[in-house]
Chains A and B, each alone.
Chain A
């Protein structure tokens, strides 16, 4: 009798464990991690250095980027502002691409965020205006 009871308990434990594992797997599949964009404003590194920010026109920003001025993503304002250097998936600096968004009030960048030598870097999958 004791033996039968032990077997029943063992089988019940196996079934419960199996269901739990199955449920955990389903939960994992059903809720992929949301790719939230890093949201901020495109500014030139010169503006960051001087602390004087302007509202860019698209053509002016493009011309400035062509001259070699780096454009970056600024998240937040004032002393709490954080600067992100945005790179393309192929490893090239995306400053010129970013300059095309300098006239937008707000943009979002989706991608892998890294910190290297104290610099915040985003390897961008998607860059979009968010107005």
Chain B
């Protein structure tokens, strides 16, 4: 009798032990709520915006189910589910000049969502060809062709080149006399213009990129420090992107652009005296739209808003 009681107690203790062990093997190493991604950035294409972000620390969580992207600002769009490999992600079907708000959240399999991280951004015109369907080029000072870049010809709504006689149209100018290789604000270049160039300001010089698609921002372009300046291209040995702003004819507010300057074993291509510098341009046609609004900060990162 005593033996059977002891056996029964042993069985109960064993059962309790296994029960405890069973509980411990469920995936309880998950955090209670998903953590938001960080560092949301954007860049513009024609009719689309590319966003990228720093992955959420919840990506390693067993409950991680991906991200949810909500877009507001234009025609209503359904939320987009993204996997962790869809970073960067291109949002297509957008309208140039409209400021959209992109809101990204981490999602768990139990449908809980992180706090959103947001950025507001606009698609913008993208030019790889000029108004003649040819590469966008301006020529060295000695050439008979134009040394001035018109980044947006309001008549054709495309880029073109311009000669010194039409300085008022110049957005950027190339100056190659006296062994110099300068690109910059036309009013600072040593030309005897036929018409006076307007004010063109340049902010940052970005290096180490292969295309405009690689130039992401997290804040509006007007947050940069702009001034009229010339860039000594001889000091650089890779592609450049210049952040530029100018006034369209009759406008007092700025129009913003990113200008990609191609480097191909040098900036000057072709044969003297018609050597040229080649460009790609991202242009925000809407006056006063610096591509974006300043990104919102993530508040209460671990807030579960399910």
The interface of chain A, by Cβ under 8 A from chain B, is 32, 34-37, 39, 58, 100-101, 104, 108, 110, 125-131
Contacts and interface: CB of A to CB of B under 8 A. Distances in A.
Contacts of B137: 128
B145 A37 contact: yes
A127 B130 CA distance: 12
Contacts of B274: 35, 37, 110, 125-126
Given A58-B131, A58-B156, A101-B132, A130 B272 contact: no
B134 interface: yes
A37 B162 CA distance: 15
Contacts of A125: 271, 274
Q: Is the interface of B mostly helix, strand, loop or mixed?
A: loop
A89 to B, nearest CB: 13
A128 B134 CA distance: 9
A108 B144 contact: yes
A43 to B, nearest CB: 16
A32 to B, nearest CB: 6
Given A58-B131, A100-B134, A104-B132, A130 B273 contact: no
Contacts of B271: 35, 125
20 contacts: A34-B273, A35-B271, A35-B273, A58-B131, A100-B134, A101-B132, A104-B132, A125-B271, A125-B274, A126-B270, A126-B274, A127-B132, A128-B139, A129-B161, A130-B144, A130-B163, A131-B160, A131-B162, A131-B163, A131-B166
B146 A130 contact: yes
Given A32-B272, A129-B146, A131-B146, 4 more contacts: A35-B271, A125-B274, A128-B137, A130-B163
A47 B137 CA distance: 30
A127 B274 CA distance: 11
